[in-house]
Amino acid sequence: MRFYIDTFNDYKEKGLSALRKGNLTEARFNLLKAAEYLFLLAEKSEGELRTVRKQTARKLLEMAKQIQPGKPKVYHTKESQGSSNDESRDEGAKKWILVRKPDIYFKDIAGLENVKELIKKRVIYPFQHPEITKRYKKKMGGGVLLYGPPGTGKTMIAKAVATELDAVFFNIKCSDIISKWVGDAEKNLADLFSEASQYERAVIFLDETESIVSKRGSGSTVMDRVIPEFLSQVDGIEKRSNCILLLGATNRPWDMDEAALRTGRFGELIYVGLPDIKARKKILELELFGVPMDHDIDYDMLAEKLEGYTGADIAGICETATDFPYDRERETNEKSQLTEIDLLSAIKLKKPSVTQNQLKKYEIFRSER
């Protein structure tokens, strides 16, 4: 019996984790396996527990069936469509090639409604309505900087943008450009933008943007070379024949070089803050879906108590909370389930990862822009 319980929990956790990250194929597989093992557990159970496990297994099965990852989408460059020239492509550019677009949409992201609507207005609609955009002299492409505390969903938003636009997605961690290829950072940047220009639509997502465009004057010869190259590449986006959208994400916008924040570069700054109460409740429901629990847990009360926590914080709290019934069942070999007290205890153990002083810095930065 313990094997079935552990295997079910393992598949369920992997499935929900993959779903949060937008890996829909992996999520569907793991949730289906979780449902399978929970049905097996139900057959070995009796009374109310048997009924509850069957109901939960059916919910998992339905959840998995609703996930439609589709076939992986292979993107071809404009030059290589219908040809076999891929093997001869420059090795410096090949490391940037991504052949799948993310399978996550705005509707899959809990909360952040104002942020999502603003991004749609600034980014999505110009691509979807090019004639209207042209008539009113709006720009397609360019740069948008997402900033805010860590763990608030900036990466998920970037993936959703690429999905909504049906664009190839380049997911780049800026610190890697500097640290992994020291001496080649400028070439890496040139390769990246060159590769992106080969696609009809491309989204370049630069995580930890401050790593590559930090304020100059620190005496770093690397940054003195990299920043001008980066700005040059960004300035050249409008001259390219395709549509390239540059999305940056940073937890420290005040550390970025002012030249990078000008109009035409990262001229559009969007604050991604902490989840509101509705989003916190939705995150709780997603994280705890399928977990054996009391039926009288007050999600509204818990969501209210979680004010000040990031989405990542809430996921961690749910993980800690499920340790309590897991340990009870493991130690006593008697069936247990998650209680409201377990969740409240986990909240007491976990403090918000973002302090009030940090939030104040974001408020000051926003007021100065």
pLDDT of residue 223: 67
Domains annotated for the chain, with CATH where assigned, are 1-72 (1.20.58.80), 90-274 (3.40.50.300), 275-353 (1.10.8.60)
- Determine the Cα–Cα distance for residues 171 and 202; give it in Å rounded to an integer: 11
pLDDT of residue 243: 78
pLDDT of residue 71: 43
Contact of 264 with 238, CB cutoff 8 Å: yes
Cβ atoms within 10 Å, residue 110: 21
Which tokens hold the place of 280?
């916190």
pLDDT of residue 85: 44
Q: What are the angstrom distances between the C-alpha of 173 and each of 28, 153, 181, 204, 356?
A: 27, 16, 12, 11, 27
pLDDT of residue 323: 95
pLDDT along the chain (369 residues), means of 10: 77 81 79 86 78 84 75 43 43 49 79 86 84 84 87 89 86 72 71 83 88 70 76 78 83 90 84 94 90 93 97 93 94 94 97 95 91
Contact of 352 with 308, CB cutoff 8 Å: yes
pLDDT of residue 73: 45
**Sign of the torsion angle spanned by Cα atoms 138, 144, 149, 152:** positive
Spell out the SS3 assignment of 11-65.
Answer: HHHHHHHHHHHCCHHHHHHHHHHHHHHHHHHHHCCCHHHHHHHHHHHHHHHHHHH
pLDDT of residue 365: 93
Contact of 145 with 250, CB cutoff 8 Å: yes
**Sign of the torsion angle spanned by Cα atoms 79, 85, 88, 89:** positive
Per DSSP, what are the bridge partners of residue 256?
A: 214
Full-model pTM: 0.69
Cβ within 8 Å of residue 184, ≥6 positions away: none
Q: Return the SS3 of 205.
A: strand
Which tokens hold the place of 114?
């104002």
pLDDT of residue 132: 92
- Of 295, 308, 301, 312, the residue nearest 344 (C-alpha): 301
pLDDT of residue 72: 42
